[in-house]
Amino acid sequence: MAEVRDRSVHLSIESVVAGYSTHDVILDGISLKAPKNETTVILGPNGSGKSTTLRAILGLVNVRSGSITFDKAEIIGLPTYMRAELGIAFLPQGHSVFPQMTVEENLLLGGWNFGRDRATLLASYERTLDEYPLLRDMTKRKAGLLSGGQQRLLEVARLMLPDPSLVLIDEPSVGLAPMFVEEVYEHIERLKAKGKTVIVVDQNVQAAVDLADYVYILEFGRVASEGVVGDYSSDVGAIVKEWLRV
């Protein structure tokens, strides 16, 4: 008998209007859903609201109306740190390692929400090194001395140390040399294998579609189209050409 996938919704955005000030509108009634243990990809031209969607989930922009639920609980109004404690993690654009700190020190920062529970922090640290064994031989090395791909791996590992259930990733290949890009997408693909729900915002259309279970395309802060990955995987070039006419 074929395995039945659990497609229950992990995160839901309904009719959200949001912006960075009291007057601008970046998201204009956007709605989308991220099912558990699937990779949802958000595509669109520059200025379409992709990164702002992630920031709305994190509580970093002013949401004026609509609803954002995580595990069926409303999270609008919660501060960002409380959303992180619920199990929402965020990998921003560009590098976010602390270059003068060691790999070990950078990783341990990922367990900030464990507070004084040193035993849990160290157990999570060891588990993370087991999951990302390439880092084990680098723990005493300054993070700034790592290659671009190694730094991105460190960022992913740090993100996973507290074992979040929802991972938001913004433009994962920005600033990376082409030789490291494929490696980074492989790391992202493994997140779903670990049982994580993943939302990826990307300009690298082909790589993102290759990762996706479901795709949303935004234009002007609204969902212009959506569908399962098969609806888009054969016609990536047409998607990009359509953006150029926007």
Location of structure tokens 């950078």:
106
pLDDT exceeds cutoff 90 at 174: no
User: Band of the pLDDT at 22, cuts 50, 70, 90?
Assistant: confident
pLDDT exceeds cutoff 70 at 119: yes
For residues 27 and 86, give the distance between their C-alpha atoms in angstroms, rounded to a whole number.
Answer: 24
**Contacts (Cβ under 8 Å, ≥6 apart) of 50:** 42, 43, 44, 170, 201, 202, 218
Are the beta carbons of 200 and 40 closer than 8 angstroms?
A: yes
pLDDT exceeds cutoff 50 at 1: no
Q: Between residues 81 and 183, which one has the greater pLDDT?
A: 81
What single string gives the DSSP state of each residue in 178-222? HHHHHHHHHHHHHHHHTT-EEEEE-S-HHHHHHH-SEEEEEETTE
Mean pLDDT for the stretch of residues 26-47: 94
pLDDT in tens, 219-244: 999 999 898 877 766 665 566 556 54
Domain ranges of the chain: 9-244
pLDDT exceeds cutoff 60 at 6: no
pLDDT in tens, 184-205: 888 889 898 889 999 999 888 8
Mean pLDDT for the stretch of residues 112-128: 89
pLDDT of residue 3: 43
User: Band of the pLDDT at 59, cuts 50, 70, 90?
Assistant: very high
The encoded tokens of residue 68 equal 């954002």
Query: Class for domain 9-244, per CATH?
Result: alpha beta
Task: Count Cβ neighbours within 10 Å for each residue of 227-236 and write b for 16 or more, e otherwise.
Answer: eebeebeeeb
Mean pLDDT for the stretch of residues 62-78: 96
